[in-house]
Amino acid sequence: MFARKKGPSLSEIEVQEPEFGESPEYLREYIRSFMEKTGREEPRIVDKISGSMKNARVFNLIYPIGAGIFIHTYNDPMTESGYNRYVVIDPPKPDKKLFEVMEYKLATIITEEDVPRSSEEKKKILLAATDLIISPMEGEVDYGKIKPTMKRIPVNAREAEYLKYHLIRDKVGVGPLEPFLRDPYLEDITSDGMGPIYVIHKMFGALQSNVEFKTEEELDQFIIKLGEKIGKPISHARPIVDATLPDGSRINIVYGSDVSLRGSNFTIRKVSKVPISVIQLIKWGTFDARIAAYMWMMLEEGMSVFICGETASGKTTSLNAISVFIRPSAKIVTIEDTAEVVMPHPNWTRELTRDTGKPETSVTMFDMLRAALRQRPNYIIVGEIRGAEGNIAFQAMQTGHPVMSTFHAANLSRLLQRLTNYPISVPKTNLDNLNVAWFQSAVYVKGFPARRVIEIDEIIGYDPASGAIAAVPSFTWDPVSDKFQFSGRGASYLLEEKIATLKGIPRNRLNEIYEELELRRMYLQMLADKNIVNYFDVYKAVVRAYSLGIERALKLLERNELL
């Protein structure tokens, strides 16, 4: 049996990442095969997908996502399922016997001393161990003759790179899901049971992938291994798990056919490493520059805001985007079940709940929110309010701690119903502590799926005579024109009664508050016109506006001297 000689630890050995080149042989072979089978023209290879391709009806593109993986997306006019296609093109899997022998020898060479502290270190150890085991060579190799007792395993030089890719994918990454998690254009990844994996693509909508689970046993084994890898063991006794994947994406797993008639299934909500910016959402039409300017004024002065909507309406995306408007010097505490909220502010405390299955050792959203009140934050941001923590959130607002959160509610009446009923049970007299209710929805615009802010309401207060909550809409969306209607000057209770007072503007000069709103709208629209869409560049532009004043920042932006 192979024994490792004493020397440097595996993590200290210099290693080389697998290399495949810009146009590897397996990609060229795939393109040839695709053209022969479909009669389609050659796919166009691009480094990234242009925003002009969003919702295109005809598309045939290949783009790289790193580590030798390419994605082919194309419309399928002959589709029987109704889905267009999403094809993962990655290095071919090596011979099964070779893979089995490698797994055995890796278990003998990697010892207890090789304990990785991160996924990158784990990958380095794996590559170093592989280099000690294999002997790359030119020409074909008969893998049927290789044995675990061999000191070095002969491997074809090209296939050695493929072997390393699959070892990293399966041992460090999340196996067949790795390409999906690497793709920056994906929003959701779904397996409904045995069969293909489906995705929601940011540019091309719902697509059917070529990756599939062929048997229920294969799917169940994959899910059990995935649960162990992410530290959330899953079994028939605990068949439902919510967890966070290594890249930060959120996954829900349902295991077994006793609770799911079609067998085990999972859904992944991708989390972008760099959040989508408020300027990008303006360019996509989710809301306009005036709405963004209005929210800037609200968040600058510490108004409490709920971003509401149905599932997958883009609530968290909008919350991340508009958070850049909170004063850069603010202390922010975020509280979540799974890490999705991203703050650009330097003074940011990030809290996560802990579910151990036992009340005495679990840390709930309620516990976290109560603790946050002692940390003297300028803003508390809750990933999502669902239960009793909602009552604490309103107590926080009442004691002067502004709160932002997402909330499942399609309109104002549903929001108020959920807030005042069990388990949240906020007294109606306290509801005016919430200042802004933002409603967002997944809609269709000119036949294409889109997300739009449907309405933004200002909460005025509780009327004891009628027992009703007084609220006025400040913005509404017109689905016919796809435009946002502002209620206009003189119609905003918050701008005139709250923001103007905080800024020291007397009632005879209220027009100044609307002039400032217009100035900020111009600033944000100019950022959009100049295509400054990176999240952190937008935050930098907002910081400059705070430090220089909006008028001077606007002049510098006009001359391209701001950033």
Average pLDDT over residues 6-27: 81
| Same domain, residue pair 161 and 282 | no
pLDDT of residue 356: 74
- The answer as to whether 286 is a domain residue is yes
Q: Assign 1 a pLDDT band (cuts: 50, 70, 90).
A: very low
pLDDT of residue 494: 97
Average pLDDT over residues 426-444: 95
| Same domain, residue pair 344 and 469 | yes
Structural domain ending residue among the three candidates 146, 176, 206? 176
Collapse the DSSP code of 274 into the 3-class scheme (helix H, G, I; strand E, B; otherwise coil) and give the result: coil
β-strands 379-382, 403-408 pairing = parallel
* Domain encompassing residue 356: 278-506
Structural domain ending residue among the three candidates 126, 143, 176? 176
- The answer as to whether 376 is a domain residue is yes
Q: Assign 80 a pLDDT band (cuts: 50, 70, 90).
A: confident
pLDDT of residue 6: 57
Instruction: Say which residue the tokens 């963004």 belong to.
Output: 292
| Same domain, residue pair 295 and 410 | yes
Structural domain ending residue among the three candidates 506, 522, 544? 506
Out of 18-32, 77-91, 208-222, 350-364, which region has the weakest mean confidence (pLDDT)? Answer: 350-364
Nearest to 239, CA basis, from 263, 206, 215, 209: 263
pLDDT of residue 8: 64
Assess contact for 470 and 462: CB atoms under 8 A. yes
User: Which burial class, exposed, middle or buried, applies to 537 when counting CB atoms under 10 A from its CB (0-12, 13-18, 19+)?
Assistant: middle
* 79 or 506, greater pLDDT: 506
- The answer as to whether 282 is a domain residue is yes
H or E element at residue 44: strand 44-45
pLDDT of residue 466: 82
Percent of all residues in the chain with a pLDDT value above 70, rounded to a whole number: 99
- The answer as to whether 125 is a domain residue is yes
Report pLDDT digits (tens) over 153-212.
Answer: 999 999 999 999 999 999 999 999 999 999 999 999 999 999 999 999 999 999 999 999
| Same domain, residue pair 172 and 321 | no
- The answer as to whether 220 is a domain residue is no
Collapse the DSSP code of 95 into the 3-class scheme (helix H, G, I; strand E, B; otherwise coil) and give the result: coil
- The answer as to whether 158 is a domain residue is yes
pLDDT of residue 394: 94
The Cα–Cα gap between 458 and 449 comes to 28
The Cα–Cα gap between 403 and 390 comes to 10
The Cα–Cα gap between 224 and 218 comes to 10
User: Which burial class, exposed, middle or buried, applies to 376 when counting CB atoms under 10 A from its CB (0-12, 13-18, 19+)?
Assistant: exposed
* DSSP letters for 534-555: -HHHHHHHHHHHHHH-HHHHHH
The CA distances from residue 21 to 1, 64, 70, 481, in Å, are: 36, 11, 12, 48
Report pLDDT digits (tens) over 369-404.
Answer: 989 988 999 999 999 999 989 999 999 999 899 999
Average pLDDT over residues 404-433: 94
The Cα–Cα gap between 394 and 397 comes to 5
Assess contact for 234 and 218: CB atoms under 8 A. no
Average pLDDT over residues 271-278: 87
H or E element at residue 317: helix 315-322
* DSSP letters for 481-499: TTEEEE--TT--HIIIIII
pLDDT of residue 63: 97
Average pLDDT over residues 405-429: 94
What is the domain count for the chain? 2
- The answer as to whether 500 is a domain residue is yes
**How much is the mean pLDDT over the chain?**
92
Pure H helices in 172-288: 178-182, 216-229, 278-284
5 half-sphere exposure, CB direction, 13 A CA radius = 4
Instruction: Say whether pLDDT at 2 is over 80.
Output: no
- The answer as to whether 71 is a domain residue is no
Which of 207-211, 223-227, 237-241 is modeled with the greatest confidence?
207-211
| Torsion of the alpha carbons at 49, 439, 478 and 510, rounded to the nearest 10 | -110
* 354 or 434, greater pLDDT: 434
State the pTM of this model. 0.81
| Same domain, residue pair 459 and 322 | yes
Assess contact for 241 and 310: CB atoms under 8 A. no
CA angle 156, 159, 161 (to 5 degrees): 120
Which of 253-262, 464-473, 516-525 is modeled with the greatest confidence?
516-525
The Cα–Cα gap between 395 and 389 comes to 10
pLDDT of residue 231: 84
| Same domain, residue pair 282 and 162 | no
